[in-house]
Structure 1
Amino acid sequence: MFRAYFNAPRRRRRAVVLMSLICTIVVGAILLQPSNPLPLESRYQKWSLEGEPLANWSGPWACVEDQTTGLLWEVKTDAENIRHGDWTYSWYSNTASRGIPNQGDCYFERDRCDTEDLIRRANKERWCGLDGWRLPSSKELMSLLNFSVKPGRPKITVEFFPHTQKANYWTADFNARLTGVYAQFTVGAMALSFGDGRQSALPYQSAEFVRLVNSNQPK
């Protein structure tokens, strides 16, 4: 086989090399595609604020169930309330005795703008009929990344998750060592950007966005 290749005309050898290169690129691209076992219209299920299932073409909706992970996610709005997509929060957990309270920017509450207060309010209001709302782990939040979106859009399926910012969202992972310009603060919490899909450790007092998650399901 090798003798036949080297005895072939130069033009034919170039064609063989080019075809092999194209095949390698195509196979590589397929292998690098995200593993989504369900199409988007089957993967996500909308839920009302009261915990009722909704058709995917209807609305408004307050939560989205990811049927590949079993997780229920809050959905942001543009209404002037606790679920507004523009509000930011500092990372704070009284249970873990970590973080900095009330360093975010949310207009619904003048005295508290931190992740613990948002979680407390979400559970008190029983979004989608549930308590048990919490910050997602880095792995959980990364499961929402969608790198197939159009350029300039947040790297998430905005048809189900509107009002998502191309910015950092807090995760539950804390005690992360800070480096560079943040080194003076020593440790902080991990955040994931839906702008570029990257994770980074940020100081607890940073005002960042939040998307809460729930491991339970509406009845």
Structure 2
Amino acid sequence: MPKNHPHRLISLLFGAALLTAPVGNAIAADDDELIRRIAGEGGIFDFTKLDGQGQPLAEQDAVYTVTPWSCVRDNVTGLMWEVKTADGGLRDQNNTYTWHNPDSDENGGAPGPGDGGECSGSACGTHAYVQAVNEQGLCGATDWRMPTRSELRTIVDYQASFPAIQTAYFPNTVATSFWSSEPNANYPNFAWHTDFKFGLASYYYFKSGPKAVRLVRDVDDGE
């Protein structure tokens, strides 16, 4: 059932106002599109719980401990999000990763360390984690990626804290910061992350600092 939440739009606009580092035209266009979609839907949260094959659960009121789900589809933004686990495996809630992107066109001048966090199932850097989840085929998909700052802010819930997210859809969420895909354009050894303790803002930090990760993908019209 969609939850009326006008603060969702405020969250995204507030986050956009705090993005002090230069961003590319593509990222700015993505921000505008997210704002347009959320504003057009009145700032609601509208999620669908998905099983391991990416299919909607028959019972959307299911409790995770009874009928666990693997992903959540945001019916407003058109994004699909990874749901964390509590099983000590690849997607465990307590896994942390250093920011790592070997692509020189996207890493802001420094790739970051590839294995500096604490995790299971992959090397503990963000690039390795993306690869591992795609090899696993989470929710029937192999195009998972790191989210932008603005994408992360679309799931911040300002009416919640510790964690600042709707845990009815995103269980096993640790109240901590989650890495975004974006390096800091001014400081090569830093990258941006988004706070999910209070949902205050996005900040930058050393790429070598371990943080949590939640992957995202774009949902095709037919999904």
Task: Report the TM range for the smaller structure's normalisation.
Answer: 0.7 to 0.9
Q: What's the CA shift string for 1:36-78, capped at 9, x where partnerless?
A: 63754xx100111112211322221000000110000000010
User: What CA distance in whole angstroms lies between the structure 2 residues aligned with 1:200 and 1:134?
Assistant: 20
Q: Secondary structure at the match of 2:130?
A: helix
| Equivalent of 2:49 in 46, 65, 69 | 46
Q: Secondary structure at the match of 1:61?
A: coil
When residues 138 and 39 of structure 1 are mapped into structure 2, their CA distance, relative to the original with a 3 A threshold, is closer
The answer as to 2:164 corresponding to 1:161 is no
Superposition pairs for residues 1-219 of structure 1, below 5 Å?
A: 33-35=7-9, 37=41, 40=45, 43-54=46-57, 55-58=59-62, 59-96=67-104, 98-109=111-122, 112-149=123-160, 152-177=161-186, 187-197=189-199, 198-217=201-220, 219=223
User: What CA distance in whole angstroms lies between the structure 2 residues aligned with 1:154 and 1:204?
Assistant: 23
- By how many angstroms is 1:133 displaced? 0.4
The structure richer in helix per residue is 1
User: What CA distance in whole angstroms lies between the structure 1 residues aligned with 2:98 and 2:156?
Assistant: 22
Q: Secondary structure at the match of 1:189?
A: strand
- By how many angstroms is 1:176 displaced? 4.2
Q: What's the CA shift string for 1:101-150, capped at 9, x where partnerless?
A: 100101334xx11001110011111100001100000010000010112x
The structure richer in strand per residue is 1
Q: Secondary structure at the match of 2:89?
A: coil
How many residues align? The count is 175
1:3 alignment partner in structure 2: none
When residues 53 and 33 of structure 1 are mapped into structure 2, their CA distance, relative to the original with a 3 A threshold, is closer
Bigger Cα Rg:
1
Q: Could you tell me whether the CA contact under 8 Å between 2:7 and 2:158 is conserved in 1?
A: no
- State, as a whole percentage, how many aligned pairs show the same letter: 28
Give the unaligned 5+ runs of structure 1.
Answer: 1-31, 179-185
Q: Secondary structure at the match of 2:69?
A: coil
Give the unaligned 5+ runs of structure 2.
Answer: 1-5, 10-37
Q: What's the CA shift string for 1:144-182, capped at 9, x where partnerless?
A: 010112xx531100110011111110001113445xxxx
Q: Could you tell me whether the CA contact under 8 Å between 2:180 and 2:192 is conserved in 1?
A: yes
User: What CA distance in whole angstroms lies between the structure 1 residues aligned with 2:185 and 2:168?
Assistant: 32
User: What CA distance in whole angstroms lies between the structure 2 residues aligned with 1:76 and 1:164?
Assistant: 7
Q: Could you tell me whether the CA contact under 8 Å between 1:177 and 1:201 is conserved in 2?
A: no
Q: Could you tell me whether the CA contact under 8 Å between 1:169 and 1:209 is conserved in 2?
A: yes
User: What CA distance in whole angstroms lies between the structure 2 residues aligned with 1:155 and 1:33?
Assistant: 12
Q: Could you tell me whether the CA contact under 8 Å between 1:176 and 1:201 is conserved in 2?
A: no
User: What CA distance in whole angstroms lies between the structure 2 residues aligned with 1:108 and 1:138?
Assistant: 25
